[in-house]
């Protein structure tokens, strides 16, 4: 199962990925150096903007996925599985060893190194431990047993890839429909396939076992009921999808007090997850990785590197998480509140088109200069 189906990489995510082209790693015993060459354009398709409509078919407006990079690069939508595979293959080519089937149970810093113990009884030692272990991070709770966990976002998601359906949309345009009972997004791949996802409201958080027990026919029936009164291609796309990607829930992690302790640190969703609707989860994780690498490169010791990393990242990522929460709240409004929502959004997007003053521009124009030295706290 391809959990999450696909992800849109905003321009700041693509800018961070480009840093890989400037990193050199020792890949064999002779210290031969190889430059990474990660070409994201081989995956997915460009999605520079999203067009929003109401369930009645009325156009609300057009929203850019951030301004283009100086060379014209725009946001890109890719299958998660394809992105994982490409990154894994690149890491393997550079000699990075990857082990599967390991579940972290505990980790302790001795002052000189870290010893990590796993559920299968094995253990390893290293200079430091970076916990990029997601929403339900074990590393987060090892660093701080009182750390807050993930916050449920009120929706579950279903998606898929439909074939043989023509949609009234240019390839590469993401479309979002604020339906009467759910939100539906879709985009036509230049090759003809249509990628789509639906956000279904669930005010109470469902148990993972309950979600796993729901079979595809039940999901289809719920989707049809949710969108049967809305204009748009949702019903046709659902019917034309052979295999649904089903039942993943939306969460965020708004603020974790302690990101690091001794030689342990958390990054990405483990430290600050945003709801999917803002399209910044992958971007923040990529930015984290680049900034942490710079801090470790430039710092004389791990403690100062970790402190610099947190000072450089915390304000930005928590601001993005808060922005995502506000964005997500637009999807879960009741029938009365939807009327002013659509009007407010339409007026805001018209103003954006007229003036070019996007209040979220700060999210996308973030650039990490790899060659510049990192500011380090004393």
**129-154 pLDDT per residue, tens:** 999 999 999 999 999 999 999 999 88
pLDDT on residue 1: 38
User: What are the structure tokens assigned to 207, written together?
Assistant: 């148990």
Asked if residue 291 belongs to a domain, the reply is yes
How does residue 375 score in pLDDT terms, banded at 50, 70 and 90?
confident
Asked if residue 377 belongs to a domain, the reply is no
pLDDT on residue 338: 72
Percent of the chain scoring above 70 in pLDDT: 92
How does residue 38 score in pLDDT terms, banded at 50, 70 and 90?
low
Contact 6, 79 (CB under 8 A): yes
Asked if residue 1 belongs to a domain, the reply is no
Asked if residue 376 belongs to a domain, the reply is no
Asked if residue 372 belongs to a domain, the reply is no
CA-based radius of gyration for the chain: 22
Percent of the chain scoring above 90 in pLDDT: 67
pLDDT on residue 96: 86
Cα dihedral sign, 6-12-15-19: negative
Q: Read off the DSSP letter of residue 249.
A: E
CATH code of 75's domain: 3.50.50.60
pTM for this entry = 0.90
The sheet that has 194-201: what strands, in order across it?
A: 59-64, 49-54, 174-178, 182-188, 194-201, 151-162, 245-252
Best CA proximity match to 120, nearest among 136, 106, 107, 102:
102
Asked if residue 371 belongs to a domain, the reply is no
Contact 272, 318 (CB under 8 A): yes
How does residue 284 score in pLDDT terms, banded at 50, 70 and 90?
very high
Asked if residue 375 belongs to a domain, the reply is no
Asked if residue 369 belongs to a domain, the reply is no
φ, ψ of residue 69 in degrees (nearest 5): -70, 165
Kind of pairing, strands 182-188 and 174-178? antiparallel
Cα separation, 270 vs 292, whole angstroms: 14
**Tens of pLDDT, residues 85-106:** 888 888 888 788 999 999 999 9
The total number of structural domains in the chain stands at 1
The answer to whether residue 314 scores a pLDDT higher than 50 is yes
Calculate the average pLDDT of the chain.
89
Cα separation, 69 vs 12, whole angstroms: 9
Expressed as residue numbers, the domain containing 346 is 6-364
């Amino acid at each position: 199962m391809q959990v999450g189906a696909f992800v849109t990489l905003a321009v700041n995510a693509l800018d961070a990925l480009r840093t890989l082209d400037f990193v050199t790693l020792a890949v064999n015993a002779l210290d031969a150096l190889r430059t990474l060459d990660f070409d994201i354009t081989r995956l997915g398709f460009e999605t520079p903007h999203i067009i929003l409509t109401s369930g009645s078919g009325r156009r609300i407006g057009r929203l850019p996925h951030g301004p283009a990079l100086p060379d014209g690069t725009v946001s890109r939508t890719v299958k998660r599985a394809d992105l994982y595979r490409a990154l894994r293959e690149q890491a393997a080519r550079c000699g990075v060893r990857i082990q599967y089937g390991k579940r972290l149970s505990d980790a302790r810093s001795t002052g000189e190194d870290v010893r990590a113990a796993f559920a299968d009884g094995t253990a390893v030692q290293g200079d430091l431990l970076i916990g990029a272990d997601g929403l339900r991070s074990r590393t987060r709770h090892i660093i701080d047993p009182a750390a807050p966990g993930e916050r449920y976002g009120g929706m579950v998601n279903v998606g898929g890839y439909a074939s043989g359906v023509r949609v009234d949309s240019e390839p590469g345009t993401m479309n979002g429909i604020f339906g009467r009972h759910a939100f539906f997004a879709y985009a036509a791949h230049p090759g003809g396939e249509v990628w789509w996802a639906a956000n279904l409201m669930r005010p109470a958080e469902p148990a993972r076992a309950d979600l796993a027990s729901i079979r595809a026919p039940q999901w289809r029936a719920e989707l049809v009921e949710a969108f049967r009164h809305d204009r748009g291609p949702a019903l046709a796309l659902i019917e034309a999808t052979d295999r649904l990607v089903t039942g993943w829930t939306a969460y965020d992690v708004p603020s974790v007090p302690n990101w690091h302790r001794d030689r342990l640190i958390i990054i990405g969703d483990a430290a600050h997850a945003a709801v999917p609707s803002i399209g910044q989860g992958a971007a923040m994780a990529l930015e984290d990785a680049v900034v942490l690498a710079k801090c470790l490169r430039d710092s004389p010791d791990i403690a100062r590197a970790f402190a610099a990393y947190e000072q450089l990242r915390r304000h930005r990522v928590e601001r993005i998480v808060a922005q995502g929460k506000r964005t997500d709240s637009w999807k879960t409004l009741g029938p009365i509140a939807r009327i002013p929502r659509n009007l407010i959004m339409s007026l805001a997007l018209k103003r954006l088109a007229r003036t070019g003053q996007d209040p979220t521009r700060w999210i996308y124009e973030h650039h990490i200069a790899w060659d510049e030295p990192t500011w380090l706290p004393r």
